[in-house]
């Protein structure tokens, strides 16, 4: 596997992993420690928190939960608390989601796709990582919905991953003269949405219907997830266009407070709202940080979008 220069001087085999990585959350690599350090030194103090001491106490009591959320979405506990928001998901819920997939053929399939890809290294590895995560996350969404009868955890996970694709966009790899966001490979939100929609549709069927979600075997869940991904996954060129746009837009707004970065990127047209993946990030911000995007009616209207079309 080729070694490439990144913003954190690592190779593509050691890309920074978000909290839905399958690695042990208690053992951080040097790259992950660097990113955690960057989170701490770049987080900005809340200017209008209702109570600084109360916010600090709440964050301290849920430290592990907030750290896991921050690694997913790129925003610290202080950002949520300053906006009057509570913890969106616990670390246990996130861990439940990220471990609900099957290992069978996943890594082999990823390596096979990379080997046959026409994309140059390291772009083939980055796109292969995206397809790999898309398959796992779509599968996880279906398994969690089958186990709990709810799509809430998967929906919030999708929101956090979508936001993280932008907020963590300063982590990138370089190829030729262009840069590409690494966290873009972990933004599988649109695939999770599709899986959630299919899970909801199947849960609404009569319980004795053979296509009801509770009737599906693990193998059938895996096949259904694979079909969703193959139908809706971004093509190589589209994914690379997204990864490039995200990292360039994120670097352009680094100087701004966290609550102004996405709105500014939209206002300056660094991120075209007409693109479905940009709209998906907007939906996530409208759901989790509504006050941050209140000045953009086109974003605020995305908080409760219509359901995705059936498969």
Q: Are residues 202 and 292 in the same domain?
A: yes
Name which residue leads in pLDDT, 304 or 290: 290
In the predicted model, is pLDDT for residue 241 greater than 60?
Answer: yes
Give the pLDDT score at 202: 96
Tokens read off for 203: 């849960």
Q: Give the Cα separation of 126 and 132 in Å (integer).
A: 10
Q: Give the Cα separation of 253 and 251 in Å (integer).
A: 5
Does residue 185 lie within any of the structural domains?
yes
Does residue 20 lie within any of the structural domains?
no
Q: Are residues 141 and 81 in the same domain?
A: no
Q: Are residues 169 and 35 in the same domain?
A: no
Q: 11-38 in b/e burial notation, b at 16+ Cβ within 10 A? A: bbeebbbbbbeeeebeeeeebbebbeeb
Q: Name 210's Cβ contacts closer than 8 Å, sequence gap at least 6.
A: none
What is the mean pLDDT of the segment spanning 4-23?
A: 47
Q: Are residues 168 and 83 in the same domain?
A: no
Q: Are residues 189 and 277 in the same domain?
A: yes
Per DSSP, the residues of 228-249 read HHHHHSPPHHHHHHHHHHHHHH
Q: Are residues 199 and 306 in the same domain?
A: yes
Q: Are residues 57 and 200 in the same domain?
A: no
Name which residue leads in pLDDT, 20 or 145: 145
Tokens read off for 48: 């209008």
**273: confidence class by pLDDT, cuts 50, 70, 90:** confident
Give me the residue label for tokens 């246990």. 92
Ranges of beta strands (E only) in the chain are 172-175, 178-181
Q: Are residues 82 and 161 in the same domain?
A: no
User: What's the mean pLDDT when you consider all of the chain?
Assistant: 79
Sign of CA dihedral 203, 207, 209, 211: positive
Name which residue leads in pLDDT, 304 or 48: 304
Q: How many domains does the chain have?
A: 2
Does residue 278 lie within any of the structural domains?
yes
Give the pLDDT score at 140: 95
Domain with 197, as residue range(s), is: 88-311
Q: Structure pTM? A: 0.76
Q: Give the Cα separation of 78 and 56 in Å (integer).
A: 8
Q: What percent of the chain has pLDDT over 70?
A: 71
Q: Are residues 64 and 134 in the same domain?
A: no
Q: Are residues 199 and 71 in the same domain?
A: no
pLDDT digits (tens, 9 = 90+) for 117-167: 677 778 888 998 899 999 999 999 999 999 999 999 999 999 999 999 999
């Amino acid at each position: 596997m080729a070694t490439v220069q990144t913003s954190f001087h690592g190779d593509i085999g050691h890309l920074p992993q978000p909290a839905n990585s399958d690695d042990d959350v208690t053992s951080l690599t040097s790259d992950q420690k660097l990113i955690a350090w960057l989170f701490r030194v770049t987080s900005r103090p809340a200017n209008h928190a209702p109570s600084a001491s109360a916010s600090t106490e709440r964050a301290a009591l849920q430290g592990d939960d907030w750290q896991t959320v921050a690694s997913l979405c790129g925003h610290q506990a202080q950002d949520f608390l300053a906006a009057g928001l509570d913890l969106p998901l616990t670390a246990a819920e996130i861990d439940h989601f990220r471990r609900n997939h099957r290992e069978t053929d996943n890594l082999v399939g990823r390596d096979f796709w990379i080997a046959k890809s026409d994309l140059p290294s390291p772009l083939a590895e980055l796109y292969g990582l995206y397809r790999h995560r898309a398959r796992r996350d779509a599968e996880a969404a279906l398994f969690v919905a089958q186990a709990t009868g709810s799509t809430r955890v998967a929906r919030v996970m999708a929101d956090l991953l979508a936001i993280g694709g932008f907020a963590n966009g300063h982590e990138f790899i370089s190829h030729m003269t262009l840069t590409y966001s690494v966290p873009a490979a972990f933004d599988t939100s649109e695939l999770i949405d599709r899986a959630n929609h299919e899970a909801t549709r199947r849960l609404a069927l009569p319980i004795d219907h053979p296509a009801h979600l509770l009737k599906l075997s693990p193998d059938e869940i895996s096949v259904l997830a694979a079909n969703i991904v193959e139908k809706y996954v971004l093509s190589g060129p589209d994914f690379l266009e997204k990864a490039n746009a995200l990292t360039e837009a994120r670097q352009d707004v680094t100087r701004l407070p966290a609550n102004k970065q996405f709105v500014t990127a939209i206002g300056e047209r660094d991120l075209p709202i007409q693109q479905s993946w940009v709209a998906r990030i907007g939906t996530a911000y409208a759901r989790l940080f509504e006050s941050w995007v209140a000045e953009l009616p086109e974003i605020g209207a995305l908080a409760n979008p219509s359901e995705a079309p059936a498969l």
